[in-house]
Amino acid sequence: MTSVSRRTLADLLLFAVTAAELALLFRLTPAFSLADWVYVVQHAVVLGIALTRGAPVARDSSPATIAAVLVAYTYPYAQVACLRWAGAEAAWPAGGLVMVTLAACLSCASLLALGRRFGVRPALRGLATGGPYRLVRHPMYLAYVIADIGYNLQGANAGTLLLVAAGWAALLHRIRAEERILSRHGDWPAFAARTRWRLVPGLW
């Protein structure tokens, strides 16, 4: 196991941000559902990954990608603030709960398949090809999309919809940036040919 003392700034930042997210999750969630507990487990796994993962072969540190990462990390909490400020209109709470739970399980399964290859910025630490990565190339991002739809079915307003649009734009940028980095891996052409769809099977 790699020594904690040898962690890079990026590793320590991932650990700190994940710990803060975990604290916010407990702070903002009055009653935990199955999906919430799955996210708790996922955050705990990320804390361990941050202290044990290896250095990347390549990483995208461009300003546009850093901005996309910041948007991705902040827009879910901005939605919570927006709902508290402007109120919400529920379209289909039961259906939303099912989608959020499905998204939590898919996100956790994707994280476990990634293991120590996980990172926030696009980077090359290896190539995940098993588990959910047999379905689409970016199953964790698919989980984010499903969760966004589910949460907005449970409660939404014009502000949350605009924030989701911004979050999805950032997600699309991250997908393209990640694929540019991952294409440097020798197994990428075979993986991309086998797993044809980037995000949504049958669509893209």
The pLDDT tens digits for 123-135 are 999 999 999 999 9
Q: Is residue 109 part of a domain?
A: yes
Cα–Cα distance measured from residue 49 to residue 42, given in angstroms and rounded to the nearest whole number: 10
Which residues form the domain of 147? 59-194
Domain-embedded: residue 102: yes
Report the distance separating Cα 57 and Cα 32, nearest Å.
39
H or E segment to which residue 58 belongs: strand 58-59
What letter represents residue 46's amino acid? V
pLDDT tens digit sequence for 89-116:
999 999 999 999 999 999 999 999 999 9
Give the H/E segment covering residue 123.
strand 123-124
Which segments of the chain have a pLDDT < 70? 1-6
Q: Is residue 133 part of a domain?
A: yes
Domain contains 51: no
**Sign of CA pseudo-dihedral 184, 186, 187, 190:** positive
Residue showing tokens 């910025």: 121
Task: Please state the pTM of the whole predicted model.
Answer: 0.94
- Establish if 45 belongs to a structural domain: no
- Asked whether residue 203 is assigned to any structural domain, the reply reads no
**How crowded is residue 64: how many other Cβ atoms within 10 Å of its Cβ?**
11
Q: What is the pLDDT of residue 29?
A: 87
pLDDT of residue 6: 67
Structurally, the chain folds into a number of domains equal to 1
Is 40 within a domain?
Answer: no
Domain membership of residue 48 (yes or no) is: no
- 3-class DSSP state of 90: coil
